[in-house]
Chain A
Amino acid sequence: MSLITTDVKDNIFYIQLHGRIDSANAAPVEEEILEAVSSCTCPAVVIDADDLAYISSAGLRVVLRLRKNRPELKIINASSAVYEIFEMTGFTEMIPVEKGYRKLSIEGCEVIGQGANGKVYRLDKDTIVKVYYNADALPEIQRERELARRAFILGIPTAIPYDVAKVGDSYGSVFELLNAKSFSKLIASEPENLDKYVELYVDLLKKIHSTEVKPEDMPDQRAVVIDWVNFLKDYLEPGKWEKLHSMVEAVPVNHHMIHGDYHTKNVMMQNGEVLLIDMDTLSQGDPVFEFASIYNAFVGFYDFDHDAALDFQGFDYDTTISIWRKMLPLYFGTTDPDVLKAVENKSAILGYARLMRRLIRRNGFDTEEGRKLIAHYKNQIETRLDSVDKLQF
């Protein structure tokens, strides 16, 4: 049986070490490594320690001797225990050693949730892990983690992901277990407290929108919305499209945070404290871009299907409409119907623009239902455009 395995990827020669390497097997391991390396023409050799459990000083000497011939040698995927050996012996100062992701087993763990892109397991009394279905989700996980961390440091109350771990062939993000209920659940079970929850919900939204971010820290939502509008060029009346396009271009650049998916399932209450979750859509821009997605979550999605509100939000259509109507005066500090109507028109124009683009991209023209909806979105956008002359509030 082979003590090592090897493969070549992107012109790098990988040597995988397995199990324990100590005085009992160091000599034959060395022999196999030297033989493998002698036939290799790659410019770089990397030791993959992913499956390495322990390495003794006899094993370390093998690595040192290999490095003599291969000065560019580096070690990757070291577990914490193996990394500690390299560190204690001073190896980390001579050879680059990269830690691997912590490995977690979810065997026997309780499943406590399931989303569009992953399953959530309870690891112990304090922590959960969200395991992504897509084995290539790592960059996405890292991105969301970094956004959440930035928001947290800027003072947005959220639960930051602690750690990224390898779970079988997939990756997982480790979070603390929140002992929390979503605003959707709270509103559904305590309709008498609706006003209180809407007030807290708006307070957090204002806090998000008053948080300044560095231009390079979060993506710019304005650019995304310009893309939506450009997509619609051939589908709206030319004059209307021109107006919409120039108004979106005229929205000033704004370096304040927006959440991007601010509905009542993404706001949680834990021991009287309001927390924001689902940070992968964090961006920066004018609040109108946020209100476009809020409009959809409370109104736009359900124009022809009021029952969908119950499926998505957990409460009925009348409640979603009522939340939308209650939150505007609170956020804007006015009950002036003209001001609020303008806010609704601006939010709806961009909200429907997003829905229209999405449906067209999903082959909406192929079905009668789809064509009906697209015509509705178009009509909403074009009618409302008549009564606004700028999109920012």
Chain B
Amino acid sequence: MEIKKNREGAKLTVALSGRLDTLTAPQMEEVVKGDLDGVTELSIDLKDLTYVSSAGLRVLLMAQKTMNGKKGTMEICNVCEDIKEVFSITGFADIFTIK
């Protein structure tokens, strides 16, 4: 998996490509733990992401909780059909803001 980060003031865009699974989730976890200082607007771009496992969902949930905790916002955009299906059947579509 590849992570591209783009920070503009209080907005951070994180673009993920490849697979977000148990092997790669720790990379995203580092971003959630280390790069959200001063961020009030987090945008996660999944345009080139092909697969999410529960470890991946967990780290996205962690990001959501972190943003909620500091009254910031998080949106997930460019979600492919397969991953949208995963969000929807796991009930995560109701938790995340999906654009």
* Chain A interface residues (CB < 8 Å from chain B): 126, 149, 152-153, 155, 157-160, 162-163, 176, 179, 270-271, 273
Contacts and interface: CB of A to CB of B under 8 A. Distances in A.
A153 B55 contact: no
B32 interface: no
B91 interface: yes
B90 interface: yes
Interface of B: 21-23, 51, 53-55, 57-58, 61, 65, 86, 89-91, 95
Contacts of B55: 270, 273
Contacts of B65: 155
27 contacts: A126-B21, A126-B51, A126-B53, A149-B90, A149-B91, A152-B54, A152-B61, A153-B61, A153-B95, A155-B61, A155-B65, A157-B58, A158-B54, A159-B53, A159-B54, A160-B57, A160-B90, A162-B86, A163-B89, A176-B53, A176-B54, A179-B22, A270-B22, A271-B22, A271-B23, A273-B22, A273-B55
Which has the most chain B C-beta neighbours within 10 Å: A149, A157, A158, A176? Answer: A176
Given A179-B22, A273-B22, A160 B54 contact: yes
A160 B90 CA distance: 7
A271 B55 CA distance: 11
Contacts of A158: 54
Nearest to B55: A273
Contacts of A149: 90-91
Given A126-B51, A158-B54, 17 more contacts: A126-B21, A126-B53, A149-B91, A152-B54, A152-B90, A153-B91, A153-B95, A159-B53, A160-B54, A160-B57, A162-B89, A162-B90, A176-B54, A179-B22, A270-B55, A271-B22, A273-B22
Nearest to A178: B22
Contacts of A157: 58
Contacts of A162: 86, 89-90
Contact of B58 (A126, A152, A163, A179): A152
Contacts of A270: 22, 55
A134 to B, nearest CB: 22
Nearest to A146: B91
Which has the most chain B C-beta neighbours within 10 Å: A159, A160, A162, A163? Answer: A160
A150 to B, nearest CB: 9
A179 B54 CA distance: 12
Nearest to B62: A155
Contacts of A273: 22, 55
A164 to B, nearest CB: 8
B51 to A, nearest CB: 7
A159 B22 CA distance: 11
A264 B40 CA distance: 41
Contacts of A126: 21, 51, 53
B90 to A, nearest CB: 6
B55 to A, nearest CB: 7
